[in-house]
Structure formats: structure tokens, C-alpha cells
Chains A and B, each alone.
Chain A
Amino acid sequence: MRALVIWALDWPVVAAGADHAEPVAIIARERVMACSKEARRQGVKRGMRVRQASGRCPHLRLLDRDPEAETRAFEPVLRLLEKRIAPHMEVLRPGLIALPSRGPARYFGGEQALVEHITTVLTDAGIESRTGAADTVFAAALAVRAGQVGHLVPAGETAAFLAPYPVGVLGRPRLSQLLPRLGITTLGMFAALPGERVLARFGHDAAAAQRTAGGLEARPFNTSGADVDYSVTEAFEPPEDNLEPVTFIAKALAERLHARLARAGAVCARLQVEVGLATGQRLSRLWRHEGRLSSLAVAERVRWQIAAWAETGQLDAAAAGITNLRLVPEGLSAATGRQSLLFGPRIAPEELEHAAGQLQAMLGHRAVVRQELAGGRGPGERIVDIPYGDARSRPFIEGTWPGQLPAPHPAVVYPTPRPAQVVGADGGAVGVSGRALLTQPPAALSIDGAAPVAVTGWTGPWPVLEDWWIPARARRLARLQVTCADGRAWLLHIQDGRWAVEALYG
């Protein structure tokens, strides 16, 4: 699919109503997000810290980013383009829009003519813009920044156009750290890797990124579910003439949509926000989704959009109330990423996974683990360490384990039991008889050859006979809980006549 991307330059600055002749910078998260021409001339750059920018340009006027205002100011531009160019526009973010170029290009007599026409229309409206085209939206968004006025990548040459870009442009922090370490610095090199290996080593998200790098759509389109309607609607009865409740309902609606898509195992490429009015009129706008927006992010976009319509006078809720709000997913494809909804919200945070990846690159795959509950009797057996990122080999089956120790559980579980001596009142070693009884009450405990400590209480022994059907793994032992005069409590076991400390309760 041929895609055309239109970029309105310095949109946050324009939307803020600032003049390019004065030094202005738009700030988001303590960094410069956009700046005026005058500020740029004085050395302010995008991504710079506020302090550094102010240092270079002392008279710099700082403005906070206001995405709502950006959307609002962008709405008239969109309407103009819809009227003059093509009816089907997709908002990537305020200031950046994509449209399928095939139809309009044919109408206007070629892509070059289309681009010229768009530039004329926008220049007449007083908006400075650039246009880029390529075989995918991603490549077109890069092409729009190439050169002085944007670049039209000829059909079929998208992969070659993308090849020299660094992997960082993919916007995947984990990949852009890992790949350069493997000597893969450009999109071309990444695209040249065997696809199935990338999938096996880095997962589905990276496989999608690799398709993007190779000039293909990130996810192969899937038409099997195209006839099913996954849209969600909230009707307002009587028509709502206040905007607040409508934007409030948007989050719940987005959650419902995501739950529905997750059940169907699908993600959408675009999301259409549609508002029905009491007059029968419908307003709609497409937003890029790619399965990467959270419910909150969707709700945010709905809020911006509704505010923008209200501001530009298309939506006058007081005159004609809102009868429904509808979210329609478009461009469905199979969801291959992790579906957190299926596993519940208790998934390790993304930063943790990222750090685990870094640590594994430094210390080796097995050095970073997470713990999971498992079946077993001893405290050491009931927890398994799984290398981070691996799925466990055997599923955890809840079973009954006779002889399992109840809570409280020991805080210290030694990876390998420490040798110990248990002696009776007469100084002789304590043993366990064939009838699972102690030969004499324990009086003192010595661990790792340290000085013996008096035993103040003990209980057990509990015999354990495990895996007797596999001779190599069969083991027979007896466990004993012991408290000592120093206030500590230990879990001991005796196996083949030798005592060992398995765990320390505290």
C-alpha cells in the first residue's frame, strides 16, 4: 500500500500561537520538544534539556506542551485537506498525518503533482509543510524528514531507502540497545537477518520491527476476521449535551474494545473515533493505534478529538446533543505480542524486563532469574528459579504433598545444605531409627564446625521418601525443626546418617 505522509513543520509551536521570529521552545518532560526558527538559529535543538537550551538562548520563552490544543488547532487543517485532497486521513499525531496515496495520486495525475497540490493548499492556508511518500507509513514518515522538502521514495525502493537508517528509529528501546551490541547498526543489516531467527531470539515484537525495517507493513494483514464487527458503542439516552460525561465514558469504552480484541486475538492498526449527534450527523476521525495504545491513551485521544470538534464548532453539544460514541477498530491483524489481559495484570513491568535483558547480556542468561512456586515438600523444592525470559518447562500442578511444612516459612534457604552436627546430652551423635524416632533428644547443634549452641526446643523427625521409583533420584531423609538458645530456628535434615541445615527460619 502506497502511503503519503504530510508533516506540518513545528506544529506544537504553531499551535501555541507563537511567532517564529521570537525564541520559543515547547517543553515536555523537562526537554525541548519543539522550538521556533529563531530559537533554532540560536542553537536550541530538539531533545535538549531545558537548562542547556536556556543557556544557549537566554531569552528563550518556555511553553508547556499541550496536546489538546495541538489537536484542536489541527482540526481545521484536517478539514481543509479532507475537502481539497482526499476524504480518508489518518492522524499519527497532531501535525503528522498519513493517507493512502494511490487514489488521490491517480486523480491529481501522479504523486509529484499530488504533493505539489498539497503544498499549495497548505501554503495558501499559511502552513509550512513537507510531504513524503513510500511503500509503508513508517518509511513515508522517515521520507518526510529526508532532504530539504521531503522525499518521494519510488515504489519498490523502500527497503533500499530505509537501509542506511540506524536501528534506533524503530522506536524499540530494547532492540536499539541489543542490536548495535551484536554489530547490527542499520535497518538494512537488521532486515537482512534471517526472519525466523529474529523471531526465535527476540520475539514477535522484534519480528514485526524487522518487517518494518525491510519496508513491509509491520504486521501482515489478516482478513479472516474482517467481517466481524468489533466496534464498541456507548449510546446516550437522552442525548448528552455536556462533553465531560462523554470523555469520561471513553476510557471504559476503550477498555471494552481492547478486551474484545484480545478475546479475538487481534490488534488494530487504526482506530476510528465516531460521535453521533442528535441531528443525525456523524463526526469521525482516524487515529493510528498499531496495538500499542493503552486504554488510557485511547481515551486521551478521544478527549482531544472531542475537544477539537467542539472548539472548531463542528460539535455543538448544547444545540444538538451527542447520541452515541463509537470506537471502530480498522486494519485488524493477529495479535502476536503478549496479551496481558489473558494473564491478568500481574505481569512484570516493562522496565524490569528491559533491565533483565541488559543484565543477561552482561552476566549470562542464567545469572538473572525470577522465582516461581512449585510443588514439593522442602522449602527449597517449593520454589524454582527460572532464567528471566524463559517459560518454565513443567507447569505448576497444585497437588497434595504429605509431609509438606506449614507456614511460617524459612526466610533463608541454602542453595546447598550446610553440614551440621547434632549431639545429645551425653555428647554422642543423634540419629534417626528405622521407626522414624530420634535415638536421643538433641541437646546442642553445631553448624559448619562452629561452636555448638544449646537446643531449646525441637520437633520431628518427619520422614520423607521421595522418587523411590527412580533409583538414581531416590532419597530418604528425615526433617527436624530446632530452636536454639541464640533465638534462631533451623530446619535440619538427616540423610545417610549425616545432618545438614536446609534452612534458617530467622
Chain B
Amino acid sequence: MFMRVVSPGERGTPEATGAESGTLSSLLPGGRLPRGAVVSTGGDLPLLIALAAEAAGDGGAWAAVGLPQLGGLAAADAGLDLACGLAVPEPGRRWPEVLAMVCEAAPVVLLGPVGQVALRTSRRIAARLRRSGTTLLTWQDWPEAQLRLRVTEASWDGLGDGYGLLAGRRTRLMVVGRGAATQLRHAEAWLPGPDGSVRLITEPAATAGGDAVPLRPITAG
């Protein structure tokens, strides 16, 4: 069997794990979305959909909780199979219970805006995810996310002054993780591209001096 020697510094990078280049996964530490963990998307629904599509794969089950505004067409274009999905658009205040039930059934769960999350609730959810191996993708920033993605810049192509059509959104993505993956990574991506699909424009690059990146936003006082 063919084997590649991976140097210690290279271990865990997409090149070492064999993630397909050009996909969002190749931007992530380890080359894939972590299972049994939370990934936050900083309030960007196209990013949330794109990650869910990569995590669910072809014909994989997924569930959306608290996302009445989820655009089904965009989701289908990004690669989510609508037939394998389940949505609870308005779980109300019982969202933690709904989430717990859904995690048992679907390996990929999308969670919409739910407001402030109590520490107890988030810990309980984290335990549940570890047990079921479900990837939870949250719309909002999550206090204990394993990975945090964010769209830092975005601009749409295709529209002029009274002519044209929306063609694609060029975005600059930022990824920061916990533990071994604290190094900040950047990439430019079509989110979505002209045909509705998602792919990277530039190869992911790491920021030098990644140790200095704060894990939590620094606030005064």
C-alpha cells in the first residue's frame, strides 16, 4: 500500500489528511469537520449551509432547528439533500430538548439564532454531542465551539447600476479552533458561487504567529 511520510509539523493539516482541495473542509484543521463538537459560523447562513452540506455528504441525514428562514433552494444547490432533512422551524423555548432529540437521529444538526445560551445548557449539549458523535453547526457564536468560522469580508459580483444579475459572493473566511488548532487560517471562497455551489478561490493560508490569536474576544472590563 502506498503511504506518505508526514512530518510532525504537517500532521493534521489538510495536505496530510487528504481533504479534497477546493472544498471548505480543506480549510479546516484536520481537513474535516469535527464530529461530536460545535462549530459556529458567526451569523452567516450561507456559510452554515455550506458546512452542513459538506458534513452531511451525499444523502446524509440532517436536521435544522430554529431556522424558519432557511432557504431550501440555496441548501439544495449547496448539496444538502432535502429528502433527508428534518426541520423544526419554531422550537420556541424548548429548543434544548428538541436539539437533544434531533442529535440522536441526525449526524449533522443546524441550529438557528437562540439568543443567550446558559453555561449549563451548553455543557449539557456538549456532553450529548460527544455521546452521539453529532456535529452541531450554530448560526450564532457559541461559547464553547470547537471551531469558529467567520466571514470577515464579503462582496457580490454581477450587479451593475440597473443591469446584470447576482453571480456570486466572494468572501474572506477566517477559521480558528481550540486546542491544537489555535492557528488562525484564512482563505477566500465563493459562498455561493455562480452555480450555487461553494468552493475556495485561494488555497488556505495560515497567519504567522498564531499563538497570539485570542481565543475569546477581548472586551474591556
Chain A residues proximal to chain B, CB less than 8 Å: 345-349, 351-352, 354-356, 358-359, 362-363, 367-373, 379, 382-383, 385, 388, 406-415, 438, 441, 456-459, 481-483, 487-489, 503-506
Question: In whole angstroms, what is the CA distance A483 to B168 when docked?
Answer: 12
Instruction: Report yes or no: A488 in contact with B49, Cβ–Cβ below 8 A.
Output: no
Instruction: Report yes or no: A373 in contact with B196, Cβ–Cβ below 8 A.
Output: no
The 8 nearest A-B residue pairs measured at CB: A457-B159, A355-B105, A383-B72, A409-B73, A487-B154, A407-B196, A506-B46, A351-B105
Chain B residues proximal to chain A, CB less than 8 Å: 44-46, 48-49, 59, 61, 63, 68-77, 81-91, 94, 97-98, 101-102, 104-106, 153-156, 159-169, 191-196
Task: For the complex formed, measure the closest distance between the CB of B213 and the CB atoms of chain A, giving whole angstroms.
Answer: 23
* Given A370-B85, A408-B193, A506-B169: A355 and B71 interface contact (C-beta under 8 Å): no
* Given A371-B82, A415-B69: A351 and B61 interface contact (C-beta under 8 Å): yes
In the bound complex, residues from chain B placing their C-beta under 8 Å from that of A482 are 159
- Set B45, B101, B160, B162: member contacting A412, Cβ < 8 A: B45
Instruction: Report yes or no: B77 in contact with A409, Cβ–Cβ below 8 A.
Output: yes
In the bound complex, residues from chain A placing their C-beta under 8 Å from that of B72 are 371, 373, 382-383, 413
- Set A346, A457, A505: member contacting B164, Cβ < 8 A: A457
Instruction: Report yes or no: B84 in contact with A481, Cβ–Cβ below 8 A.
Output: no
Question: In whole angstroms, what is the CA distance A368 to B64 when docked?
Answer: 10
In the bound complex, residues from chain B placing their C-beta under 8 Å from that of A441 are 161-162
Task: For the complex formed, measure the closest distance between the CB of B64 and the CB atoms of chain A, giving whole angstroms.
Answer: 9
Question: In whole angstroms, what is the CA distance A483 to B167 when docked?
Answer: 11
- Select from chain B the residue with minimum beta-carbon distance to A481: B166
Task: For the complex formed, measure the closest distance between the CB of B179 and the CB atoms of chain A, giving whole angstroms.
Answer: 28
Instruction: Report yes or no: B164 in contact with A351, Cβ–Cβ below 8 A.
Output: no
Question: In whole angstroms, what is the CA distance A13 to B117 when docked?
Answer: 50
In the bound complex, residues from chain B placing their C-beta under 8 Å from that of A414 are 69
- Set A352, A358, A407, A410: member contacting B194, Cβ < 8 A: A407
- Select from chain A the residue with minimum beta-carbon distance to B81: A346
Task: For the complex formed, measure the closest distance between the CB of B116 and the CB atoms of chain A, giving whole angstroms.
Answer: 22
Instruction: Report yes or no: B160 in contact with A367, Cβ–Cβ below 8 A.
Output: no
Instruction: Report yes or no: A506 in contact with B63, Cβ–Cβ below 8 A.
Output: no
* Given A352-B86, A408-B196, A459-B163: A413 and B94 interface contact (C-beta under 8 Å): no
Task: For the complex formed, measure the closest distance between the CB of B33 and the CB atoms of chain A, giving whole angstroms.
Answer: 18
In the bound complex, residues from chain B placing their C-beta under 8 Å from that of A355 are 63, 86, 101-102, 104-106
- Set A349, A382, A388, A457: member contacting B61, Cβ < 8 A: A349
In the bound complex, residues from chain B placing their C-beta under 8 Å from that of A481 are 159, 165-166
Task: For the complex formed, measure the closest distance between the CB of A393 and the CB atoms of chain B, giving whole angstroms.
Answer: 17
* Given A354-B105, A355-B106: A411 and B159 interface contact (C-beta under 8 Å): no
- Set A359, A370, A379, A409: member contacting B83, Cβ < 8 A: A370
Question: In whole angstroms, what is the CA distance A414 to B112 when docked?
Answer: 13
Instruction: Report yes or no: A371 in contact with B77, Cβ–Cβ below 8 A.
Output: no
In the bound complex, residues from chain A placing their C-beta under 8 Å from that of B74 are 408-411
Identify which of A351, A372, A413, A503 gathers the most chain B CB atoms within 10 Å of its CB: A413
Question: In whole angstroms, what is the CA distance A413 to B161 when docked?
Answer: 24
Instruction: Report yes or no: A506 in contact with B84, Cβ–Cβ below 8 A.
Output: no
* Given A346-B84, A348-B83, A407-B196: A505 and B156 interface contact (C-beta under 8 Å): yes
In the bound complex, residues from chain A placing their C-beta under 8 Å from that of B85 are 348, 370-371
In the bound complex, residues from chain B placing their C-beta under 8 Å from that of A385 are 87, 89
Instruction: Report yes or no: A506 in contact with B59, Cβ–Cβ below 8 A.
Output: no
Task: For the complex formed, measure the closest distance between the CB of A486 and the CB atoms of chain B, giving whole angstroms.
Answer: 9
Instruction: Report yes or no: A483 in contact with B156, Cβ–Cβ below 8 A.
Output: yes
Question: In whole angstroms, what is the CA distance A457 to B44 when docked?
Answer: 21
Question: In whole angstroms, what is the CA distance A355 to B87 when docked?
Answer: 11
Task: For the complex formed, measure the closest distance between the CB of A91 and the CB atoms of chain B, giving whole angstroms.
Answer: 33
Task: For the complex formed, measure the closest distance between the CB of A159 and the CB atoms of chain B, giving whole angstroms.
Answer: 35
In the bound complex, residues from chain A placing their C-beta under 8 Å from that of B94 are 362-363
Instruction: Report yes or no: A413 in contact with B71, Cβ–Cβ below 8 A.
Output: yes
Given contacts A356-B105, A412-B71, A438-B162, list 11 more A-B pairs with CB under 8 A. A358-B101, A363-B91, A367-B91, A379-B71, A408-B194, A413-B69, A459-B163, A483-B155, A483-B156, A483-B159, A505-B156
Instruction: Report yes or no: A487 in contact with B162, Cβ–Cβ below 8 A.
Output: no
- Set B71, B84, B98, B106: member contacting A410, Cβ < 8 A: B71
Instruction: Report yes or no: B73 in contact with A382, Cβ–Cβ below 8 A.
Output: yes
Instruction: Report yes or no: B86 in contact with A503, Cβ–Cβ below 8 A.
Output: no
In the bound complex, residues from chain A placing their C-beta under 8 Å from that of B168 are 408
Task: For the complex formed, measure the closest distance between the CB of B24 and the CB atoms of chain A, giving whole angstroms.
Answer: 14
In the bound complex, residues from chain B placing their C-beta under 8 Å from that of A345 are 59
- Select from chain B the residue with minimum beta-carbon distance to A437: B162
Identify which of A408, A415, A489 gathers the most chain B CB atoms within 10 Å of its CB: A408
Question: In whole angstroms, what is the CA distance A348 to B85 when docked?
Answer: 7
In the bound complex, residues from chain B placing their C-beta under 8 Å from that of A370 are 82-83, 85-87
In the bound complex, residues from chain A placing their C-beta under 8 Å from that of B87 are 368-371, 385
Question: In whole angstroms, what is the CA distance A506 to B166 when docked?
Answer: 11
Instruction: Report yes or no: A409 in contact with B164, Cβ–Cβ below 8 A.
Output: no
- Select from chain B the residue with minimum beta-carbon distance to A360: B88
- Select from chain A the residue with minimum beta-carbon distance to B103: A355
Question: In whole angstroms, what is the CA distance A369 to B49 when docked?
Answer: 18
Question: In whole angstroms, what is the CA distance A358 to B97 when docked?
Answer: 11
Instruction: Report yes or no: B196 in contact with A415, Cβ–Cβ below 8 A.
Output: no
Instruction: Report yes or no: B86 in contact with A489, Cβ–Cβ below 8 A.
Output: no
- Select from chain A the residue with minimum beta-carbon distance to B65: A359
Question: In whole angstroms, what is the CA distance A459 to B161 when docked?
Answer: 7
- Set A483, A503, A506: member contacting B44, Cβ < 8 A: A506
In the bound complex, residues from chain A placing their C-beta under 8 Å from that of B89 are 367, 369, 385, 415
In the bound complex, residues from chain B placing their C-beta under 8 Å from that of A410 are 71, 73-74
- Select from chain A the residue with minimum beta-carbon distance to B170: A487
In the bound complex, residues from chain B placing their C-beta under 8 Å from that of A362 are 94, 97-98, 101
Instruction: Report yes or no: A368 in contact with B88, Cβ–Cβ below 8 A.
Output: yes
Instruction: Report yes or no: A348 in contact with B61, Cβ–Cβ below 8 A.
Output: yes
Identify which of B72, B88, B155, B168 gathers the most chain A CB atoms within 10 Å of its CB: B72
- Set B69, B81, B101, B196: member contacting A359, Cβ < 8 A: B101
